[in-house]
Chain A
């Protein structure tokens, strides 16, 4: 039995210190996934906390033959997608809109104090925010976790062919957003492919 499975067994018997160890192991990948999906630190923290609480309460349904990481990521990606959908339905949103990034919108100057890294992060988030929630999950899993098509399919519950076509469509959409900035005067033709 792997060390992780030992921890899971201990958590199932009510050992919260073992749960703390699992949280420590996965906190960064789960937080990063939530941040990339939701686009702001406060929501990402809340969502990542919620993912771990859900994992804790559903641990009895976890099949130890499957990789724990895939199971946890599946909870996280579904939760973030649900949250994004609910956010769209909320008529009076408390979320602060993402600041428009200069590289992706008008020629407005960015905040002077912003570092290059922050600007790049904002640009990435703005690109991701242009995607549908499911497509966004696939892009995030592909780029930050180096997941294969099969792993993305297992995590999101989609078929491998659906993953391929969604990823392809998402990339073209991102490229279109990017191209709009660089050649704003040319007609948008990228999503035709």
Chain B
């Protein structure tokens, strides 16, 4: 018998008894192999240690705490259900308002088929687009100028970043120091 088979049998012998012949072969091998003898002894020790260790009972009041936690999770889930209901109701209301509006728009489209009305609408859209374009261009010029100015004043953005960082640190510190602002633990304590 080699050591691999021997160790397999040693391990299996902990779950089911070996046959007489297997047992004899294993004992013969172990008598001559000090390493397998050490494995057998250690495995038996482990087996005894684990077998002797009792089942740990749940702490008193465990079931009550599970129910409290279940209730609080259900309460938290309820607003979510209410939100879903509100969203569905809102969508229905919107649909109820939009449908008559669509009917009106569809009658208006008949009017827009007149060439004069159509060109007037196109003219209005074009003017609106040009107006938006001019505003965008103005904002871009102002933004670029501000950026160039900031680059010429490196201290200012640095100071701004530092004050933002300090503010964030301050908020974190306040959150840690104020018990009411700390995230609630999930465990229902004893």
Q: Chain A: residues with CB nearer than 8 A to chain B?
A: 16, 19-20, 23-24, 27-32, 35-36, 41-42, 45-46, 48-50, 52-53, 56, 120-121, 123-124, 127, 139, 142-144, 149, 167-168, 171-172, 174-176, 178-179, 182-183, 186, 189-190, 192-193
Contacts and interface: CB of A to CB of B under 8 A. Distances in A.
A171 B67 CA distance: 38
A175 B190 CA distance: 37
A178 B63 contact: no
A143 B50 CA distance: 7
A142 B71 CA distance: 34
Contacts of B6: 193
B87 interface: no
Given A46-B186, A175-B42, A182-B42, A167 B11 contact: yes
A124 B59 contact: no
Given A16-B67, A31-B56, A182-B42, A46 B3 contact: no
27 contacts: A19-B67, A23-B63, A27-B58, A27-B66, A28-B55, A28-B57, A28-B58, A31-B59, A41-B59, A45-B59, A45-B62, A48-B58, A49-B69, A49-B187, A52-B66, A56-B70, A123-B49, A127-B50, A149-B15, A171-B43, A175-B39, A178-B45, A178-B49, A179-B42, A182-B41, A186-B38, A190-B39
A127 B46 contact: yes
B51 interface: yes
A95 to B, nearest CB: 13
B63 A24 contact: yes
B76 to A, nearest CB: 12
Interface size range on B against A: 35 or more
B176 to A, nearest CB: 14
A179 B34 CA distance: 13
Interface in B54-96: 55-59, 62-63, 65-67, 69-71, 73
Contact of A179 (B3, B39, B53, B66): B39
Contacts of B7: 168, 172, 190, 192-193
Contacts of B19: none
B52 interface: yes
A143 B51 contact: yes
Interface of B: 3-4, 6-8, 11-12, 14-15, 35, 38-39, 41-43, 45-47, 49-53, 55-59, 62-63, 65-67, 69-71, 73, 186-188, 190
Nearest to B14: A171
B3 A192 contact: yes
Nearest to B4: A193
Contacts of B47: 171
A186 B39 CA distance: 12
B46 A171 contact: yes
Contacts of A41: 59
Contact of B39 (A23, A50, A193): A193
A46 B187 contact: yes
Contacts of B57: 28, 31-32
